[in-house]
């Protein structure tokens, strides 16, 4: 069962006030309905969503939709078709999908979404109708609504962004996609439509992935530091051997000779570790910075030999 299906199964059990039920049903019918002169027809692949829409219509208008079950040829799953013939005009007008003079409305009037809870209910209905979300385990974070009308896409996008969800619109070959990519915003949306179990699952996966990514970044950073340390130590050894070959370490300044001898003795230690070793074994404290300056002096001497 997909993550989107689990979400839809959960939110079909949310309790509504009457106004929220109207807003939810309006959001669903607006984005998933064939409206003719004689009926309203919706096609649904999710059984829980089918029961939800059937119940909302029954509770609000005392109308029992006709349910037909077919097999979807592409997905091989059941396709539930709800046909509403009774009180068609009353339902469409009440859901703000038709004007009083029987003209179809693309967008609902403001009374459908007059407060935040009604807006959330409308978005819940829209998600049941045309929404989907990737499982955070198997893909990048992505939530989308697919609609066939530009005005509807803009309306949904604006509604989502009233809640600071940073949604955007993408013009597809057929229709429009309203989408959210940020994990935190997707989690906010799930919380907003009262998919609380889905939020817990989503957050657990998000935290795990963030922790894993952070661990990978730290490992990569650590490996880069190790590579840098090895490369730096190798160059220092080359410079020291060059001085040893052409000048002889015994002729070097005492402090420079001391550093050369300790680098030859401890070829793979970091500057910090080497400074601590020298300080401990000689009784003469030297800092990492002081050690760096001595190696820079060794490099300058080696470069003079190379250039002669």
pLDDT in tens, 284-294: 888 888 888 98
Surface-to-core class of residue 214, CB atoms within 10 Å of its CB (0-12 exposed, 13-18 middle, 19+ buried): exposed
Confidence (pLDDT) at 220:
67
178 neighbors 145 (Cβ within 8 angstroms): yes
Confidence (pLDDT) at 231:
78
CATH 3.10.28.10 positions along the chain are 3-194
The CATH number that domain 3-194 falls under is: 3.10.28.10
Alpha carbons 186 and 206: distance in angstroms, whole number: 11
- SS3 string, 259-293, reads HHHHHHHCCCCCHHHHHHHHHHHHCCCCCHHHHHH
Q: Confidence class of residue 280 from pLDDT cuts 50, 70 and 90?
A: confident
The set of residues, in sequence order, having a beta carbon less than 8 Å from that of 125 and lying 6+ positions away, is: 23, 24, 25, 26, 27, 28, 29, 31
Confidence (pLDDT) at 36:
87
Range from 74-78, 107-111, 285-289 carrying the lowest mean pLDDT:
74-78
Asked whether the whole model's pTM tops 0.75, one would answer: no
Model confidence over 1-52: pLDDT tens digits? 788 999 999 999 999 999 999 999 999 999 888 888 889 999 999 999 999 9
248 DSSP 8-state letter: -
What is the arithmetic mean of pLDDT over 94-110? 88
291 neighbors 258 (Cβ within 8 angstroms): no
Average pLDDT score, the chain: 88
Q: Confidence class of residue 218 from pLDDT cuts 50, 70 and 90?
A: low
Q: Confidence class of residue 279 from pLDDT cuts 50, 70 and 90?
A: confident
- State whether the Cα torsion 241-243-246-249 is positive or negative: negative
Model confidence over 162-216: pLDDT tens digits? 999 999 999 888 889 999 999 899 999 999 999 999 999 888 888 777 766 676 6
Helix (H, G, I), strand (E, B) or coil at 167: coil
pLDDT higher than 80, residue 217: no
Tokens matching residue 228: 């840098």
Model confidence over 242-277: pLDDT tens digits? 888 888 888 888 888 888 888 888 887 888 888 888
Per the model's pLDDT, the better-predicted residue between 296 and 76 turns out to be 296
pLDDT higher than 80, residue 223: no
Alpha carbons 59 and 20: distance in angstroms, whole number: 13
Model confidence over 110-155: pLDDT tens digits? 999 999 999 999 999 999 999 999 988 876 889 999 999 999 999 9
| Longest Cα–Cα distance in the chain | 107
């Amino acid at each position: 069962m997909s993550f989107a299906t689990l979400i839809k199964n959960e939110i079909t059990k949310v309790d509504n006030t009457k106004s929220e039920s109207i807003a939810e049903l309006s959001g669903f019918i607006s984005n998933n309905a064939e409206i003719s002169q004689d009926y309203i027809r919706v096609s649904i692949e999710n059984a829980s969503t089918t029961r939800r829409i059937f119940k909302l219509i029954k509770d609000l208008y005392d109308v029992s939709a006709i349910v037909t079950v077919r097999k979807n040829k592409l997905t091989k799953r059941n396709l539930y078709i709800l046909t509403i013939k009774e009180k068609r005009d009353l339902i469409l007008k009440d859901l703000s999908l038709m004007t009083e003079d029987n003209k179809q409305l693309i967008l609902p009037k403001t009374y459908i979404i007059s407060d935040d809870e009604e807006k959330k209910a409308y978005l819940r209905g829209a998600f049941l109708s045309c929404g989907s979300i990737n499982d955070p385990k198997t893909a990048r974070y992505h939530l989308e609504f697919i609609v066939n009308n530009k005005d509807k896409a803009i309306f949904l996008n604006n509604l989502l962004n009233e809640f600071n969800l940073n949604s955007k619109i993408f013009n597809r070959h057929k229709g429009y996609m309203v989408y959210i990519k940020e994990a935190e915003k997707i989690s906010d949306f799930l919380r907003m439509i009262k998919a609380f179990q889905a939020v817990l699952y989503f957050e657990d996966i998000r935290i795990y992935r963030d922790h894993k990514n952070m661990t990978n970044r730290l490992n990569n950073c650590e490996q880069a530091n190790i590579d840098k340390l090895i490369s730096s130590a190798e160059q220092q050894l080359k410079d020291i051997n060059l001085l040893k070959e052409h000048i002889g370490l015994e002729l070097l300044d005492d402090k420079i000779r001391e550093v050369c001898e300790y680098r030859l003795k401890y070829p793979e230690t970091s500057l910090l570790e080497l400074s601590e070793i020298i300080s401990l074994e000689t009784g003469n404290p030297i800092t990492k910075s002081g050690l760096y300056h001595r190696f820079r002096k060794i490099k300058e001497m080696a470069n003079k030999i190379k250039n002669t």
